[in-house]
Amino acid sequence: MDRTGSGLMSFIRSAVREITLNLHFRPGARLITLLMVALAFVVFNTFLIISWNLQSIMDREENLVGMEVFLQRDISPGEGRVVGDLISSLPGIKSVYYVSPQEAEALFRAELPGRTDLLDVMGSDFRLPASLQIAFETEAMSQERMSELSRTIGAIEGVKDAVYGENYLPGLIKTVITIRRLVILLGIVLVSSISLVVFYTVRLSVVRRSLTVNIMRTVGAPWWFIRVPFVVEGVFMGMTGSACGLALTAVLSEVLSGAVTHRFMPLSWMTLVILLGAVTGTVGALAGSYEKER
C-alpha cells in the first residue's frame, strides 16, 4: 500500500470534515435528543435550586444558634476583647463579636421600643453589661459540645454568665442534619439518573448511525477517526442540552419568583451542571461508538 501523499494535516482536515458532516446529519433527531437532555436537566436544576435555597435557610437558622456570653460589669472594653480572643481560640468557635454597653443599649432600644422607660428609670449612670456574641462551627453544634463549651467559657475570668438555647438546640440540630442527609442522598440519586438519561440518549443517537461506523471500519478508518466525531457530538449535545436546561429553568424560576421568593443557583453550580452534561454526553457517545466498533 502506498504511503505517498499521506500526512497528518490531511488526516486532521478529513477528521474535521467528518465532524461537520456528522453534525449536519439528521437535525430533527438531534433536536429531540437535545430536548430530552434539556428536560432531564430542568428536573435536576429544580432540585439544585431548592437545595440551594434550603441551604441558605439552614445557614441562617444555624447562625441563630449562638451563645451569649455576659461579661462582668467592671470589665473594660480592652479586657473584654481579650476574653473574646481567648474564646475564639477554642475549637469549634466560628466567630466572636464584642457588644459594647452602648451597642447593647442601642439594641435594647431597637428591639424593645416599648420598654425604653426601663432604661430611663435606671438613670444616666446605668450601663447594660458588655457581652460577646458567639457563633459555632457546624461540627460543634451538639448538645454535649455546647454544654462543655459553655462550662469552659463560664470559667474564664471576667465572664459572668454563658447562655444558649438549651431547649430547642438538639431538635434543630437533628432536623438540620436529617435534611442535609436527605438532600445529599437525593442529589446522588438525581446525578446518577441524569447521567444515565444523558448517557443513554446520546448513546442511542450514536448507535442509530451504526451503519456509518460499520462502513468506517471496513474501509480501514483508525479508531480515533471513527470516534472523534462522536465525542464532539457528545460534548456538543451534553453542553447545549444542559445549557438549554439551565435556560428553561431560569425562565421557570423567573415566572415563579412572584409566588415563591427564592434565589437562582450560583454561577459555580451552573458551571458544574454544564460540565456534568458535557462529561456524560461524551461518555455516552464513546460507549455508543465503542459498541459498534471492533
Partner 1 sequence: MLVTMSGVRLSYGRWPALDKIDMEITRGEFLVISGASGAGKTTLLRLIWMGDKPDSGFVEVGGFRSDRIRRRELPQLRRKIGIVFQDFRLLHTRTVFDNVALPLQVSGTRNRTVQKRVISLLARMGLSHRRNSFPHELSGGEQQRVAIARAMVAHPVLLLADEPTGNLDPEVSREVVELLLEINRGGTTVVMATHDPRQVPAGKGRFLFLDRGVLRGADRWTELDQDS
Geometric angle at alpha carbon 227, from 221 and 231, rounded to 5°: 155
288 touches 230 (CB < 8 A): yes
Place of cell 409566588: 259
Using rule CB under 8 A, residue 200 touches partner 1 = no
Size (the chain), residues: 294
| 42: enclosing H helix or E strand | helix 27-64
- Hey, what amino acid is at 58? M
Of 47, 98, 225, 290, the one binding partner 1 (CB under 8 A) is 225
Determine the Cα–Cα distance for residues 41 and 223; give it in Å rounded to an integer.
31
Shortest CB 18 distance to partner 1, Å: 8
96 touches 88 (CB < 8 A): yes
Distance set, CA 158 to CA 69, 79, 150, 177 (Å):
10, 8, 14, 35
Of 220, 255, 259, 261, the one binding partner 1 (CB under 8 A) is 220
Q: Which is nearer to partner 1, 225 or 269 (CB)?
A: 225
Q: Which stretch binds partner 1 (CB under 8 A): 126-134, 152-160, 211-219, 239-247?
A: 211-219
**Euclidean distance between the first and the last CA atom of the chain, given in angstroms as a whole number:** 22
238 touches 202 (CB < 8 A): yes
Name the DSSP letter for residue 212.
Answer: H
Using rule CB under 8 A, residue 266 touches partner 1 = no
Per-residue x/- track, 23-52, partner 1 (CB under 8 A): -xx---------------------------
Determine the Cα–Cα distance for residues 124 and 256; give it in Å rounded to an integer.
53
Of 153, 197, 202, 216, the one binding partner 1 (CB under 8 A) is 216
Q: Which stretch binds partner 1 (CB under 8 A): 10-18, 88-96, 142-150, 232-240?
A: 10-18
Shortest CB 49 distance to partner 1, Å: 41
Q: With CB under 8 A, what is the number of residues at the site for partner 1? A: 30
Shortest CB 6 distance to partner 1, Å: 5
Using rule CB under 8 A, residue 215 touches partner 1 = yes
Q: Which is nearer to partner 1, 226 or 244 (CB)?
A: 226
245 touches 273 (CB < 8 A): yes
Using rule CB under 8 A, residue 2 touches partner 1 = yes
Residues at the interface with partner 1 (CB under 8 A): 1-2, 4-8, 10-11, 13-14, 17-18, 21, 24-25, 211-212, 214-223, 225, 294
